[in-house]
Structure 1
Amino acid sequence: MSSILVFGDSNSHGTMPLPRLGALDRYAPDVRWPTVMAQILGADVVTEGHPGRTTVHDDPIDGAHKNGHAALPALLESHRPLDLVVVMLGTNDCKARFGLRGWDIAAGVGRLAQTIQASTAGPGGGPPDVFLVAPVPVEESGVLAEMFQGGPARSRAIAPALRAEAERLRCGFFDAGRICAVDPVDGVHLTAEGHGALGRAMAEAVRAHLQEGTGC
């Protein structure tokens, strides 16, 4: 049985679309895409989805603890040995406060991949394999519209840049935006149907990647 870590943000956590700021509703475990993927694969999947998590940036408003790069080493050690780490981050980097381009965001994900590659969190003390997922593009709508002003353009630029980064680092790659879209209620989070579609597509993509045996 493969051991997989999903390292992500609120869309891996299962946060429901926000009707108002501060809402904390979460989909049931069997609805969330990592659980759907796990059930199809028959794999041991640990989900580390932290709402608000960025790739490599301290958030000046929500706090330094949102920095994914700072959290990653401890999580790798906590859950080893891991066969695969799936990274789906970049949505929160699209917030207007960071002023990043799609290329910058992809480079942040690449930095996370390199940290995983340099770790001893895989079988036998080697590194785990890495699979990079471009997040679903955001929209300027609902209660998060102002926070993500300019986000649609930024988020749509992530996938091509991240594909190139995955090729450079010899990682798996998947574009979640080909499978589902955000809920217009807040323009950031997935519907229950979107979680199901993404979980099924990810199961197929991860299975193919593991069968190919192409590691980072």
Structure 2
Amino acid sequence: MSKIRTVLLFGDSNTHGTKPMHALSDLGRYDRSERWAGLLQGLLPQWHVIEEGHPGRTTLHDDPIEGPHRNGLKVLPALLDSHRPLDLVVIMLGTNDLKERFSVNAGDIALSVGRLVQEIRGSVAGPEGTAPQVLVIAPPPIIETGCLAEIFAGGAAKSHQLAKRMQAMAAREGVAFLDAGNLVEVSPIDGIHYGPEANPVLAEAIAEAITRHFP
């Protein structure tokens, strides 16, 4: 029998499975059988899929409004330790860095994801004290609309540069890359989260990428 490998999905609300928001008070989440992270487990029977999506998570910024616990770099070492040994970490972050309050460009966001990659590659959280492998996923471009439009003011234009910058960063770091913007679009309801039709498409593409890059 083949050994079961473990993959950690490290992301934000779109890994969490947050539904498009009509109002800031909306807390809807897709069921595990609907969200892409849950669907991924069914497509990868030889993998144990750990869902670690936190709404509002940034790459490495303390959020002055939503709280410092949204800082991905701060929580990553603890997650690597608590879930080791990990064969693979999938990073899909960067969307929340587009919030106007952070004032960062697409290049800096890609470098910030690169800092997370370096943290993983420098760890001993993989099998037998090695480092886990990494797959970086560039999130799809956003739309400034609905209840989140003001929070993400100015982010839409920058979001169209993310995939190119992240792909270059992944090449420099020597890790696998996938552009989710070639696969799915954000919902026109809030311009950030995915409609239900996007989940199976993303799950199948990520399953294919994992199978191809990490056979």
TM-score where L is the length of structure 2:
0.97
Map 1:99-178 onto structure 2 (within 5 A).
Answer: 99-178=103-182
- Choose which of 17, 41, 50 in structure 2 pairs with 1:38: 41
Give 1:140 deviation, angstroms: 0.5
Rounded Cα–Cα distance in structure 2 between residues aligned with 1:74 and 1:155? 29
The Cα of 1:50 is off from its aligned counterpart by: 0.2
Unaligned runs of 5+ in 2: none
Cα deviation 1:120-170 (Å, max 9, x = unaligned) = 100001100011000111101110011111111111111001101101111
Do residues 23 (structure 1) and 26 (structure 2) align? yes
**Matching residue of 2:209:** 205
Question: What stretches of structure 1 move > 6 A for 4+ residues in a row?
Answer: none
Structure 1 unaligned residues grouped into runs of 5+ = 212-216
Q: Secondary structure at the match of 1:115?
A: helix
Superposition deviation, residue 183 in structure 1: 0.5
SS in 2 for 1:131: strand
CA RMSD between the two structures: 0.7
2:113 partner letter: V
Q: Please, which of 55, 61, 85 is the counterpart of residue 57 of structure 1?
A: 61
Structure 1 letter corresponding to 2:15: S
2-structure distance, mates of 1:195, 1:130 = 21
TM-score by length of 1: 0.96
Secondary structure of the residue that 1:4 maps to in structure 2? strand
Distance 1:62 1:33 in 2: 25
